[in-house]
Amino acid sequence: TQLLEQSPQFLSIQEGENLTVYCNSSSVFSSLQWYRQEPGEGPVLLVTVVTGGEVKKLKRLTFQFGDARKDSSLHITAAQPGDTGLYLCKSASKIIFGSGTRLSIRP
């Protein structure tokens, strides 16, 4: 069974700080997606990474897919309160979500 483990489970930091959250698996994935979910809403796709070693940037968010395609990271620069939410990684080709990282940015 393919599992996606995310760390940390919770993260609370001050506005302006940088942070990185991780998504790891023992299995190889053909592609990986990151979603963000805000309270009372469904998840919204942020990015899809396909190639091992790929790096994608979305404003202050940087996504990286591991060379072996078993892991991924999301780095946020200068976090803002609007970044608060549940960050989920998902296998793009399988219907598997990670357990999520709940991020809280304090003003």
Partner 1 sequence: DTGVSQDPRHKITKRGQNVTFRCDPISEHNRLYWYRQTLGQGPEFLTYFQNEAQLEKSRLLSDRFSAERPKGSFSTLEIQRTEQGDSAMYLCASSFQTSGSSYNEQFFGPGTRLTVL
CB 72 within 8 Å of CB 66:
yes
**Residue positions counted in the chain:** 107
Binding segment for partner 1 among 14-22, 26-34, 57-65, 73-81 (CB under 8 A)?
26-34
Least Å from the CB of residue 40 to partner 1:
7
Q: Is 30 in the site for partner 1 (CB under 8 A)?
A: yes
Token pair recorded at residue 99: 């357990």
By CB under 8 A, is residue 43 in contact with partner 1?
yes
Rounded CA gap, 83 and 61, in Å? 10
Per-residue string for binding with partner 1, 60-89, x by CB under 8 A? Answer: --------------------------x-x-
Could you tell me whether strands 32-37 and 55-58 are parallel, antiparallel, or unpaired per DSSP bridges?
Answer: unpaired
